[in-house]
Amino acid sequence: MAVLNDEQVMLRDMAREWADHESPVAAFRRLRNAATGVGHDPQAWNSVGQMGWAGVVVPEEYGGSAFGYLSLGLVIEQLGRNLSATPLASTGPAATAIAMGEDEGAKAEWLPRIADGSVIATLAIDEGPVHGDQAYSARVEDGRLSGTKAFVAEGDGAALFVVAATDGLYLVADGEGVSRRTRAMADARSHADVVFDGAPAIRLGGPELTAAIVDRATILITAEMLGMAEAAFATTNDYLKTRVQFGQPLSTFQALQHRMAKQFTELELMRSVVEGALEAIDAGRSDIDQTASLAKAVASETLKLVSREMVQLHGGIGMTDEHDAGLYLKRSAVLEAMWGNAAYHRDRFARLNGY
Amino acid sequence: MASVAAIDETETFRAEARDWLAANFPASLKGTDNAMSAIDGPSEETADQRAWREAIGEKGWGVPIWPRQYGGGGLSRAEARVLQEEMARIGAYNPIGGMGVMMFGPTLLEYGTEAQKQEHIPAIAKGEVRWCQGYSEPGAGSDLAALQTFAEDKGDHYLVNGQKTWTSGGQWADKCFALVRTDKSKKHEGISFLLIDMDAPGVEVKPIRLISGSSPFCETFFTNVKVPKENLVGREGEGWTIGKRLLQHERSSLSGGGGSAGRLLAGKPVSELAKEYRGTDGEGRLADTDLRSRIVRHEMDQRAFMMTLRRAALEAKTNQGPSAATSIMKNVGARITQDKAELGIEIMGMNGLGWEGEGFSEAELNQTRTWLWGKAVSIYGGSSEIQNNVIAKRILGMLDHQ
């Protein structure tokens, strides 16, 4: 755990307590079974707004608390432990895009409503199934944006889109020229293809801003991945201590102990790179891009290891829908691919380091 | 968050350290290091090296946080960090090191009698006495508590018989801190912590030649060696507790706390070496894509490790206790050290496997030896498998498999 100030400790503890009491994995399971088509939990999101967590990276003059990314990451990590279905990891970087952007009117109009949770904003960046360095084909002419964005997280419930176009980043509100199609995915969360057809767009900034916002979004989901990995690992560890075979708990078998020790080791490294990347944003460091790639590559590999081991070490029960292992497994795989998989980020890290 | 007053104090100390180093560190030694002397053995000291060792030894700054009354520097951890920064800034090394500093000293400060501290600590602080570790035996490796070297009670002294192995630097050591058996009826509770003079009659040392060609370890034989009773540290039967505490100091220094993290970063990054030996494509990327991918994994691993060391240090400082992250350091440090060396020999091809003589650069010959020596890292100080046992049992609360 990073060294936290008093506000951060309080925020983390509150988020942990709220997630355990109000948003356990069972709540996500109910949401999935209800198949509402929204892909997030409106009641949970309402609470998140009331507690001010949607405004953690929103500047104070626009109704936020401006605690920063480490603080937001702590909340997302706690919610990630229980697979809480809130759009927090999407609204955060979207708010930062507006706050860092060049349109003062947009800040006044949207940031207070993002901060209080009344508006869900999200990023619409990728145009295909694999995140990479391709140029964007979405275009803006005479203030109107046209193009199709693929697998937009929280695309079903979002009222506001931060959209990457050829020449930079734009803000588009739901309404004229915006249509969407749900993509039902294994993780049972919200993903949608969004078609913009001459939608009114406000310019926020150039391609550098797009890159900066994608890095922040990437780093934030590693916080969710960290929470998931910790919880998945703890669940497996508890199971090994209770499941008895050959007359003894599975946790007494050295072959399994060493596999758990290996996962624990990787988890500690994962925590360092995730927290380090969040801190890099708050410190305004010049190598946020590198820390993002380091965090995402390590987080993807580690969560992959832990979520697959969760299924394997639970044996048959882990294969059943009734058990939570499958929920972690499916969300893991989606997050591994989101904002670039480990291979993409290794390649990018190497390029950023001159090889 | 450190207070403003505390920051001012350390900055005042920075000026003091800077002045003292300017007056005492010989310019001729700038950028040199004697870190490898623990492996290669002591070489003849030059006049400047001797002067530097004596100066820093007198000041106590070779062991900056040890108490001043026993010849230490008496500095706070913050001041010690400043001192380290200032030494790094001017390319000065710390000539006071070895097992006395890393392991035995801190343990004796905790468990020794006043007389024992007065006798041994100042000599370590001045770099005058070399210590070696008598722990492992031919039949007691990972299962260290199976050790058989016996110290028989003869009234005013013990009579020690047995054999130790993997005695690091045994052929150059003046004294040995050893785990010996004083009671054959109990396994752990029958072990005691004893200090033995290496020049006492009946002590015989034979260096062991390793795959790297060097002989940093020895077999040590004790035949009817008389050891005075006042050389017992702690009580009879308390040796296992004291010995384990000492291993904690060993693990933290082996994993990076004691400067080996710096050694991991020392030298050229593997990616630079690869560009030099293997070349790049039109876009400046390493041409061998498979190698490139493995190098990135390694360099990311190294970066993550460094961030974990920093995190653990910060946590230890603010939480006043060791961080859970420290338990992974030995294994991760070992894997990074070994990966780096394996990548190094692969990058250099046949030139990375030279043994000696003409046709190879100094760096290439070093690469071979570093690679081979590095195989020890996952074995000594508790093998990687033992470390995993410790994580499983102590941290994860998994039950004993025995």
CATH for B16: 1.10.540
- Residue B401 domain-assigned (yes or no): no
- Residue B245 domain-assigned (yes or no): no
Q: Final residue of a domain: which of B173, B205, B237?
A: B237
Are B79 and B173 members of one domain? no
Smallest CA-to-CA distance from B337 within B288, B376, B365, B366 is with: B376
Q: How confident is the model over A234-246, as a mean pLDDT?
A: 97
Strand order across the beta sheet in which A139-141 lies: A139-141, A144-153, A191-200, A178-182
Number of CB atoms found within 10 A of residue A283's CB = 12
Task: Confirm if B382 and B247 have CB atoms less than 8 A apart.
Answer: yes
Active site residue B250: yes
Residue B257: pLDDT band by 50, 70, 90 thresholds? very low
Query: Distance between CA atoms of B375 and B136, rounded to whole angstroms?
Result: 18
Task: Confirm if A342 and A297 have CB atoms less than 8 A apart.
Answer: yes
Task: Confirm if A48 and A54 have CB atoms less than 8 A apart.
Answer: yes
Smallest CA-to-CA distance from B204 within B171, B227, B240 is with: B171
Query: Distance between CA atoms of A189 and A90, rounded to whole angstroms?
Result: 13
Task: Confirm if A143 and A170 have CB atoms less than 8 A apart.
Answer: no
- Residue B140 domain-assigned (yes or no): yes
Probe site for chain A from B307, B319, B336, B386 (most A CB atoms < 10 A): B307
Q: Final residue of a domain: which of B202, B237, B272?
A: B237
What secondary structure does DSSP assign to B269-286, as a single string? -HHHHHHHHH-B-TTSSB
- What is the per-residue pLDDT for A124? 98
**Per-residue DSSP letter, B140:** B
Residue B7: pLDDT band by 50, 70, 90 thresholds? low
Are B197 and B279 members of one domain? no
Task: Confirm if B169 and B38 have CB atoms less than 8 A apart.
Answer: yes
Number of CB atoms found within 10 A of residue B393's CB = 16
A245's enclosing H/E stretch is: strand A244-245
Does A299 have pLDDT greater than 70?
A: yes
Are B269 and B381 members of one domain? yes
What secondary structure does DSSP assign to B341-389, as a single string? HHHHHHHHGGGGG--SSTTS-HHHHHHHHHHHHGGGTTTTTS-HHHHHH
Are B284 and B388 members of one domain? yes
Chain segment B146-186, per-residue pLDDT in tens: 999 999 999 999 999 999 999 988 999 999 999 999 999 99
Are B324 and B213 members of one domain? no
- What is the per-residue pLDDT for B2? 43
Q: How confident is the model over B77-81, as a mean pLDDT?
A: 88
How many residues make up chain B in this entry?
A: 402
CA distance B335 to chain A (A): 12
Are B175 and B299 members of one domain? no
Kindly provide the b/e burial profile for residues A247-262, where b requires at least 16 CB atoms within 10 angstroms of the residue's own CB.
eebbbbbbebbbbbbb
A121's enclosing H/E stretch is: strand A121-124
Query: Distance between CA atoms of B249 and B330, rounded to whole angstroms?
Result: 12
Chain segment B363-386, per-residue pLDDT in tens: 999 999 999 999 999 998 889 999
Strand-pairing partners, residue B177, are B133, B195
Chain segment A90-146, per-residue pLDDT in tens: 999 999 999 999 999 999 999 999 999 999 999 999 999 999 988 999 999 999 999
State the Rg of chain A over Cα.
Answer: 20
- What is the per-residue pLDDT for A276? 97
Q: State the amino acid at position B154 in one-letter form.
A: K
Pick from A252, A258, A355: which is nearest to B388 by CB? A258
Number of CB atoms found within 10 A of residue B367's CB = 23
Chain segment B260-285, per-residue pLDDT in tens: 555 666 678 999 999 999 999 999 99
Pick from B331, B332, B399: which is nearest to A252 by CB? B399
A228's enclosing H/E stretch is: helix A207-242
Beta-carbon separation of B392 and A257 below 8 A: yes
A163's enclosing H/E stretch is: strand A160-165
Contacts of A294 in chain B (CB under 8 A): 300, 303-304
Are B264 and B372 members of one domain? yes
Segment 360-389 of chain B within 8 Å of chain A by CB: 385, 387-389
Chain segment A178-234, per-residue pLDDT in tens: 999 999 999 999 999 999 999 999 999 999 999 999 999 999 999 999 999 999 999
Smallest CA-to-CA distance from B14 within B72, B101, B92, B75 is with: B75
Are B275 and B378 members of one domain? yes
Task: Confirm if A160 and A170 have CB atoms less than 8 A apart.
Answer: no
Pick from B301, B325, B388: which is nearest to A261 by CB? B388
Which residue of A lies nearest to B330 if distances are taken between CA atoms?
A: A265
Q: Which two tokens stand for residue B76?
A: 């706070």
Instruction: Assign residue B230 the CATH number of its domain.
Output: 2.40.110.10
Q: Which two tokens stand for residue B386?
A: 């033992």
- Give whole-number Cα distances, A349 to A7, A131, A335, B11, B296, in Å: 33, 15, 19, 37, 7
Model confidence, pTM: 0.88
Q: Final residue of a domain: which of B175, B206, B237?
A: B237
Domain span at residue B371 reads 259-395
Which positions ≥6 away from A283 have C-beta within 8 Å? none
**Per-residue DSSP letter, A14:** H
Contacts 24+ apart (CB under 8 A), B278-283: B278/B347, B280/A355
- Residue B71 domain-assigned (yes or no): yes
Q: Which two tokens stand for residue B162?
A: 């047995």
Query: Distance between CA atoms of A161 and A163, rounded to whole angstroms?
Result: 6
- What is the per-residue pLDDT for B3? 47
- Residue B249 domain-assigned (yes or no): no
Smallest CA-to-CA distance from A21 within A64, A78, A76, A73 is with: A78
Are B287 and B198 members of one domain? no
- What is the per-residue pLDDT for B256? 42
What secondary structure does DSSP assign to B213-246, as a single string? S---EEEEEEEEEEEEGGGEESSTT-HHHHHHHH
Contacts of B331 in chain A (CB under 8 A): 265
B151's enclosing H/E stretch is: strand B150-153
Instruction: Assign residue B377 the CATH number of its domain.
Output: 1.20.140.10
Chain segment A6-37, per-residue pLDDT in tens: 999 999 999 999 999 999 999 999 999 998 77
Q: Which two tokens stand for residue A283?
A: 């410190």
How many residues make up chain A in this entry?
A: 355
Contacts of B296 in chain A (CB under 8 A): 346-347, 349-350
CA distance A295 to chain B (A): 9
Q: Which residues of A touch B (CB under 8 A)?
A: 1-3, 5, 237, 240-241, 249, 251-254, 256-258, 260-262, 264-265, 268-273, 275-276, 294, 297-298, 343, 346-347, 349-351, 353-355
- What is the per-residue pLDDT for A191? 97
Per DSSP bridges, beta strands B217-228 and B157-168 are: antiparallel
Mean pLDDT for all residues in chain B = 89
- Residue B253 domain-assigned (yes or no): no
Q: Which two tokens stand for residue B354?
A: 């030279």
Per DSSP bridges, beta strands A168-173 and A144-153 are: unpaired
Query: Distance between CA atoms of B32 and B289, rounded to whole angstroms?
Result: 37
Per DSSP bridges, beta strands A144-153 and B150-153 are: unpaired
Q: How confident is the model over A31-44, as a mean pLDDT?
A: 88
CA dihedral B315, B319, B320, B322 (to 10 degrees): -50
Per DSSP bridges, beta strands B175-181 and B131-134 are: parallel
Does A279 have pLDDT greater than 70?
A: yes
Are B325 and B273 members of one domain? yes
Task: Confirm if A233 and A332 have CB atoms less than 8 A apart.
Answer: no
Mean pLDDT for all residues in chain A = 96
Q: Which two tokens stand for residue B361?
A: 């650069």
* Domains of chain A, start order: 6-115 (1.10.540.10), 121-206 (2.40.110.10), 209-352 (1.20.140.10)
Smallest CA-to-CA distance from A353 within B267, B337, B286 is with: B286
Does B35 have pLDDT greater than 90?
A: no
* SS3 call for B299: helix
Are B305 and B373 members of one domain? yes
Task: Confirm if A28 and A324 have CB atoms less than 8 A apart.
Answer: no
Task: Confirm if A318 and A325 have CB atoms less than 8 A apart.
Answer: yes
Beta-carbon separation of B307 and A237 below 8 A: no
Contacts of A273 in chain B (CB under 8 A): 303-304, 307
Are B59 and B145 members of one domain? no
Query: Distance between CA atoms of B23 and A266, rounded to whole angstroms?
Result: 46
For chain B, the domain total comes to: 3
Q: How confident is the model over B345-350, as a mean pLDDT?
A: 97
Task: Confirm if B350 and B338 have CB atoms less than 8 A apart.
Answer: no
Beta-carbon separation of A355 and B286 below 8 A: yes
Task: Confirm if A22 and A46 have CB atoms less than 8 A apart.
Answer: no
Q: State the amino acid at position A58 in one-letter form.
A: V
What is the torsional sign of CA B11, B13, B16, B18? negative
